[in-house]
Structure 1
Amino acid sequence: MDGAMAASLVVGTWLWDWYGPDMGRPSDLTAMALTLLSNGPLVLRRRAPMTVATICAATSLVYHCLGYHVGLNNIALLLMLYTVAVHRSWQATAAASVMAVTAWTHGSALQPGVAIVSALASALLLAVCAVGAGLGARLLAQRTRQLAALARQLQDEQEAAARRAVTGERVKIARELHDIVAHHMSVVSVQAGLGRFVALSDPPTALATLEVILETSHEALNEMRRLLSILRIEADDEDGALYTTAPEVRDLDALAERMRVAGLPVEVVVEGTVRTLPPGLNLCAYRIVQESLTNVLKHAGSAPTRVRITYDPASITVCVTNDGPAAAPPRQPGGHGLIGMTERVKLYRGTIITRRLPDGGFEVLATLPLSPYDEVE
């Protein structure tokens, strides 16, 4: 574009100088060379603005001092002043303005009937217009770059937020899978061991263990299907039917019965006025009990265990205590049991305490705050 502009100015000035009205010396090779030097460097106006501006101003002055057409070879200098204002500092813009005003004033003053003051005023007005346009374009370009940088930053933040959301969902899914698989597979493992031990000596007991394994496996598969169906739920599914199968506190009796069949004596006690819990908090309380009983089954065998659910006006307390002869060992490094319980409780702004008891055994005590608007059953 700059090359086309320079070529147009050179050719247009030559034609005007040859065929236009006479306002100075007739055109010759010197005038043509000066016109080429005054307009041709516009090809490099973006790469070397000050150098090109200096060449244009100098050749314009020489062109007019030699008496050639007083109205020609001024447009390139106007464009260069604009270019310097866009791409260079204010000091360079001031220097280019001085050169342009000098060349314009000199060229205008050579016209018949034009006073030096009028020539200077018109030159200053042209300089102000060119510099103003250049600074406006410069500020607009800066603002565009800032907006582009902000847009990139916003896009990066959105991508980071999306990655965090995906990571959070993966953690939740991993926690749910751990809760499901760890509990049911622990029951299956214990029952399978018992069944193998009594397979020949006590067939009825072995048959009972197979029934427990079958029931537990079916429950594990059902919960796995529920979790996978939640992952596949469509955006327009509004009935929420897939979520209604989530276990809750009222299902603890069935959980305790399953653990009793597996060989762990469990007692469930509910204290206070039972309240309707939000689905997420209801599932949280159930998972705490489930994980605690699974740990007892793994680490304390058949130690008597008590599950106490206490409803207070402002909270629900879940306490699981076993009376094993020795304290239940903590989770192995990398395990997700206690970590998962802690994260669930934090999600609902509750507190959880896991500790060994002085006389042996282990206790899990979690307190979850309730909303005052939860209904009392």
Structure 2
Amino acid sequence: MRIRPSYTDALTALAQTGVAVSLGREAVSQGWPRLDLAAYLLVGLATLPVAVRAKAPVAVYLFTLAMWGGYITAGYWPVVSCFGPMLALYTVAALRPVRTSAVAAALLGATWVYAGLLGNDPGGGSMATVLAQAVVFPAVLWRFGLVARRSSELARELRRERDERARREIAAERARIARELHDIVAHHMSVISVQAGLAGYVFDSAPATARTALGTISATSSEALDELRRMLSLLREPDPGERQEGGGLPADGAAAVPPPPVPGLSRLGAMADRVRAAGVPVDLRITGEPRDLAPGLELCAYRVTQEALTNVLKHAPGARVTVALDYRPAHITVTVTDDGAGRRPAPAKAPPGSGHGLIGMRERTRLYGGSLSTGPRGHGGYAVSLTLPTSARAGRSGDDRPA
């Protein structure tokens, strides 16, 4: 059971009082007057208030110090009731500014010297011993309090840094999920929207064309669902400790279904066919020697190409598009250009690069140390060019999840 700080302080105050009372019984054997009721009352007033020292450190310190001073003035053995002010000084040093705690330490030393000047030497030695004790004891307590204060500050700073790091990680994860959802939904829904409009328009006049459009809608929606399942399976993937000890099944007993593979450059052809079916002519050109790359890098190139084609569907339906994939020894380049022939003027057009899709492109590109350029072409149309550094040795033997 965890003990609360207030209970700990109360127990400490009671323990100090008990020690002081026990020590007071030895006053006569040490050559000091016997403690009477007034002496024990002052002992209690000098020790019991430390039970609330964390709530009012300075007030408790000044009160216990005053009670100790009264006890000394009455001629009793000073050692008996010194514990309360000493612990209160430590608390002031641990919880209050350095200047305040330094003054408190000086007051404790002055009280110690006062006891020596009255002839009530707390240590039972010479005046030189009293002066040494008046310096060393308050200094040690003050130093310990400062160390505790610094430790508490460092602990709070570490907690703040941990919380801030957790907030940043959560924000980054939300941005990643939002980016992935945008890439999946925007592209597929654009194709579905175009094909649904076409099917409705030619439903009576050209049934074959309508059936083809419906087939494209079915295939596109199926692919979108597969990608959503892949993403959700990653988000729902249980920790190793959440699995049952006897096997690899989740706690609910359902068999684990492997997620669909991460989209890669090998699916660019299917993407081009889907966009062609939506009414945008796409010319896919692959140069260099194709090779397997890191799954995360291939996903980055796939998503950037997907977003570029989605933008053509939205803003330039009917334009001719060229997708050029070039494999180089140290990098790959993907360029998506359109001739602008199908572009329709918009009354309120956002400036280039202001959309969430282009922002997502740049975020993905920075993640893999690549470069991305987007903008209008000099002779009409729009171009998106992606360059990603890669290695010829990168294969699919690594992690299949996107980074």
- The one-letter code matched in structure 2 to 1:274 is P
Whole-Å Cα distance in 2 between the matches of residues 211 and 48 of structure 1?
87
- The one-letter code matched in structure 1 to 2:107 is A
- The one-letter code matched in structure 1 to 2:230 is R
- The one-letter code matched in structure 1 to 2:74 is T
Whole-Å Cα distance in 1 between the matches of residues 110 and 32 of structure 2?
29
Q: For 1:204-237, what per-residue CA distance to the aligned partner results, in whole angstroms no more than 9, with x for missing partners? A: 1111111111111111111111111111112339
Q: Residue 106 and residue 209 in structure 1: after superposition, are their counterparts in 2 closer, same or farther (change >3 A)?
A: closer
User: SS of the counterpart of 2:300?
Assistant: helix
Shift of 1:184: 0.9
1:363 corresponding residue in structure 2: 383
Whole-Å Cα distance in 2 between the matches of residues 149 and 215 of structure 1?
59
Larger Rg: 1
Name which of 329, 334, 359 aligns with 1:318.
334
Whole-Å Cα distance in 1 between the matches of residues 324 and 144 of structure 2?
69
Pair 1:153 & 2:173 matched: no
2:200 corresponding residue in structure 1: 196
Shift of 1:159: 1.9
Pair 1:338 & 2:358 matched: yes
Whole-Å Cα distance in 2 between the matches of residues 169 and 204 of structure 1?
45
| Pairing 1:249-328 to 2, within 5 Å after superposition | 249-325=265-341
Once the two structures are overlaid, the 10-residue window that deviates more, 185-194 or 322-331, is: 322-331
Shift of 1:278: 0.7
Q: For 1:31-55, what per-residue CA distance to the aligned partner results, in whole angstroms no more than 9, with x for missing partners? A: 9587468646525673424423432
Contact 1:268 1:306 in 2 (8 A): yes
Contact 1:274 1:311 in 2 (8 A): yes
Whole-Å Cα distance in 1 between the matches of residues 121 and 217 of structure 2?
105
Pair 1:101 & 2:101 matched: no
User: SS of the counterpart of 2:182?
Assistant: helix
- The one-letter code matched in structure 2 to 1:168 is A
Q: Residue 21 and residue 214 in structure 1: after superposition, are their counterparts in 2 closer, same or farther (change >3 A)?
A: closer
- The one-letter code matched in structure 2 to 1:234 is P
1:227 corresponding residue in structure 2: 231
| Pairing 1:106-255 to 2, within 5 Å after superposition | 120-121=125-126, 124-125=128-129, 128-129=132-133, 132-236=136-240, 242=258, 245-255=261-271
TM-score, structure 1 normalization: 0.77
Pair 1:58 & 2:78 matched: no
User: SS of the counterpart of 1:245?
Assistant: coil
| Pairing 1:34-53 to 2, within 5 Å after superposition | 35=39, 39=43, 41-43=45-47, 46-53=61-68
Once the two structures are overlaid, the 10-residue window that deviates more, 146-155 or 123-132, is: 123-132
Q: For 1:83-115, what per-residue CA distance to the aligned partner results, in whole angstroms no more than 9, with x for missing partners? A: 68645534323322321222346799xxxxxxx
Contact 1:37 1:59 in 2 (8 A): no
Q: Residue 331 and residue 291 in structure 1: after superposition, are their counterparts in 2 closer, same or farther (change >3 A)?
A: farther
Q: Residue 33 and residue 169 in structure 1: after superposition, are their counterparts in 2 closer, same or farther (change >3 A)?
A: closer
Once the two structures are overlaid, the 10-residue window that deviates more, 214-223 or 90-99, is: 90-99
- The one-letter code matched in structure 2 to 1:374 is A
Shift of 1:249: 0.7
User: SS of the counterpart of 2:223?
Assistant: helix
Alignment coverage as a number of residue pairs: 346
Whole-Å Cα distance in 1 between the matches of residues 200 and 226 of structure 2?
26
Contact 2:287 2:326 in 1 (8 A): yes
User: SS of the counterpart of 1:366?
Assistant: strand
Once the two structures are overlaid, the 10-residue window that deviates more, 338-347 or 87-96, is: 87-96
- The one-letter code matched in structure 2 to 1:165 is E
- The one-letter code matched in structure 1 to 2:202 is V
- The one-letter code matched in structure 2 to 1:281 is L
Gaps of 5+ in 2: 1-11, 50-59, 93-100, 249-255, 397-403
Contact 2:337 2:383 in 1 (8 A): yes
Contact 1:276 1:375 in 2 (8 A): yes
Shift of 1:308: 0.4
Contact 1:82 1:131 in 2 (8 A): no
Gaps of 5+ in 1: 61-71, 109-118
2:98 corresponding residue in structure 1: none
Whole-Å Cα distance in 2 between the matches of residues 40 and 188 of structure 1?
83
- The one-letter code matched in structure 2 to 1:95 is A
Shift of 1:120: 4.9
- The one-letter code matched in structure 1 to 2:218 is L
Shift of 1:283: 0.4
User: SS of the counterpart of 1:48?
Assistant: helix
Indicate the RMSD between aligned Cα atoms, in angstroms.
3.8
Q: Residue 231 and residue 331 in structure 1: after superposition, are their counterparts in 2 closer, same or farther (change >3 A)?
A: farther
Whole-Å Cα distance in 2 between the matches of residues 344 and 352 of structure 1?
10
- The one-letter code matched in structure 1 to 2:364 is R
- The one-letter code matched in structure 2 to 1:342 is R
| Percent identity (aligned) | 36
Shift of 1:80: 6.9
TM-score, structure 2 normalization: 0.73
Whole-Å Cα distance in 2 between the matches of residues 188 and 140 of structure 1?
71
Q: For 1:328-355, what per-residue CA distance to the aligned partner results, in whole angstroms no more than 9, with x for missing partners? A: 8766897421111111111111111111
Whole-Å Cα distance in 2 between the matches of residues 346 and 215 of structure 1?
32
Q: Residue 85 and residue 162 in structure 1: after superposition, are their counterparts in 2 closer, same or farther (change >3 A)?
A: closer
Q: Residue 80 and residue 306 in structure 1: after superposition, are their counterparts in 2 closer, same or farther (change >3 A)?
A: closer
